[in-house]
Amino acid sequence: MKKRKNNYGIFTKRIDFFSGRRISYYVKNNLFSLVIVLLLAVFLFGITFYFYFPKNLNLKVGEVAPENITAPRTFTYVDSQKTAELKKKIAESVSPVYKLDVNKEKEVLKKCDDIFNKIDSILSSKKDVVEKHKELEALFSGNKSFADLLLKESTNNIEKIREFTKAVLYKLMIMGVKSDSINQAVQIGTEEINKSSYSDAEKELMAYVLRQVIEPNLIYDKEATESAIQKAVNAVPPVKVTINKGDIIVQKGEKITQDEYNILVAIGLVRTKSDWKIILSIIIFILYFLGISYAGLLDSKKIRESNKAKKSAEFAIISAIVFIMFFLLEPISPYLIPVPLLAFLIFAFFDKDAAIITSVAFMLLITLPFDIKPAILFAMLASTVISLFILRHFSRMVTIIYAGLAGAVSFTILTLLIDITGNVPLLRIEFDLTYAFVNFFGSSLFALGIIFVLDHIFNETTTVRLLELSDTNTPLLKELLLKAPGTYQHSMNVASLASAAVSAIGGNALLVRVGAYYHDIGKMLHPYYFTENQIGIPNIHNEITPNLSKTVIINHVKDGVQIAKRYRLPEEVINFIRTHHGTTVVSYFYHKAKEKDPNVRKDDFRYPGPLPHTKEEGVLMLADAVEAKMHSMVDLDKTKISEVVESIVNDRIEDGQLDECALTLADLKKVKESLFNSMVSFYHRREAYPEEKNDKS
């Protein structure tokens, strides 16, 4: 129950280069993992680079194509030239912006009043007619006809002319007068005046005044106009051109046009000086993928200092497989992108959280460079989460099929919604729905095959491998049953006890069940030295020394490890063999030896260990001891069973056997309750059936 010691593997969080541990030390202790990561990065870059730049055509505009140049993949790109032309047209179509000068209206009407006020002043003066005529001529720039008209008009009529002129001016100013459309405004005002019932002379007078006083009140706003143009230009969507895989871009023998050359550049068939930007972006996206993925793998409970290199290799192989599948399937349809395959594999070799994080990282890697619709990836991620939710209790082979089926149904429904909202043709919808279903369901089947292969290559303990090992018809368990039937039955009983107890504390019940099946396989070499196999034969230990008996008993752990390695059992399963006795004392033979020699050392009768390091290993130790103890007792009842369980758990705690595993006091309470309930069900009393008497009548 001690805390696990810090380690400094590539998968651990507690890497602190500023705490005195040098980078060289870290690199030295993680060299193999770092090399694997580096090789994976090189592989991903190489395959992605080839996808972008399948071949180099040293062609220029105007040159003749030596062959039919076809698109290596479906590709959508932005035609910068056409986009620029469209933006230019939009910019030219934007109307200039004018701002209204609200003071101009008052100024124009005041100027009109000033003219008529002067007319009134001249006419009302005491000067003679000749003088008045001269002043009126001067006011109207020498126009005698206006002077003649005004000298004949009545004061009341002149006032009406004033008001009508002002009304026309007001109307024009309300409409707005631009600096470059003064003449147009004068023409409109003159037409309005000509429609009136005034005499021709009066109309000419009003038109003259109109021309004299009118001014523009709509002032050209350069900044606002430029802002409107920029806003309109920014709103112009880029002109996208889609080239389908296999489409002929340039026919053999034809001269390459500028548009065709732009397509060749965009699709990567022609090298340009700006290619370094694409290459740099590919490198950055790959590093992001690796960084986010490894960050997600850090929390996996399956990562330990002893297996970090193996886990690095597994992740590298999984990533390589998924990327190869991606480049093969993506050109067919984006709905075939193997995100569910990646999630299923990462889940099998790591855990659910790592699977989700790695899937997100993979999507980030392919979204922008490969121009895949975010809606498709979002639907795929949502369906992947549904699959992983079902897969979280992966205890049977068929579970992964159910998970793939659930994800397939979800993704198919979401694909239908995406296509309907996108007005996709009916035939295309049918293909997309098929691809969506096949992606998830096919991934679950394909993942099973890959998991099975990698399990045996890396000797892993995925659920698939554990299910395989849990089959009691495996050659090793058959051999155990044949050579040590008592031990076989004991192992089956311990498996039931331990798996129930581990389930109670949320541990891996399947793992502990398999560990229990194989924990005593070392007894096959000398089966009759163990009491459970001494059926109908005398106890061999009565004929040999306690020290020799102790040696044979303790060696079943070492023998079991050797047998397990010969049969290539996974390391996690072998750990149950190593730790199921920890460093406990072989009490019976220790006390027997002590009777002969009081000076015998207790430590000489201890198992070599190591101690259990996981909850599952700790629970197996307790279940093994409880089951063995119960078989040595008679007339068991609930009280005795409870005392035995309590005694064994307390002894193991006091002896420090659980110091290095993660079992808490709360866990131990649940374990004791589970062991008690299981043992009560094993040893419950049955009522004796009455004997039948033969009726001889």
Is the CB of residue 392 less than 8 Å from the CB of residue 352?
yes
CA–CA dist 182, 200 (Å, integer): 23
Rounded to the nearest 5 degrees, what angle is found at the Cα of 219, between the Cα atoms of 107 and 234? Answer: 155
What pTM does this model have?
A: 0.64
Query: Residue 17: what pLDDT?
Result: 43
Centroid of chain to Cα 135: 91
Using DSSP, state whether 668 is helix, strand or coil: helix
Token readout for 691 is: 């004997």
Q: Specify which residues 78 forms β-bridges with.
A: 240
Positions in the chain whose pLDDT score sits under 70 = 1-30, 50-59, 72-75, 245-246, 266-276, 368-371, 394-395, 683-697
Rg (CA), the chain: 47
Q: Specify which residues 76 forms β-bridges with.
A: 242
Is the CB of residue 40 less than 8 Å from the CB of residue 13?
no
- Indicate the pairing of strand 248-250 with strand 75-78: unpaired
Q: Specify which residues 64 forms β-bridges with.
A: 255
Query: Residue 19: what pLDDT?
Result: 46
Query: Residue 67: what pLDDT?
Result: 75
Question: Which of 342, 442, 322, 344 lies closest to 392, judged by CA?
Answer: 344
Rounded to the nearest 5 degrees, what angle is found at the Cα of 604, between the Cα atoms of 603 and 610? Answer: 65
Query: Residue 695: what pLDDT?
Result: 45
| 496, 501, 504, 505: CA torsion to nearest 10 | -140
Query: Residue 2: what pLDDT?
Result: 46
Query: Residue 379: what pLDDT?
Result: 93
CA–CA dist 497, 425 (Å, integer): 59
CA–CA dist 428, 434 (Å, integer): 10
Query: Residue 110: what pLDDT?
Result: 92
Around 585, how many Cα atoms within 13 Å sit in the side-chain half-sphere? 19
Q: Which CATH architecture has domain 470-682?
A: Orthogonal Bundle (1.10)
Burial class (CB in 10 A: 0-12, 13-18, 19+), 588: middle
Centroid of chain to Cα 363: 6
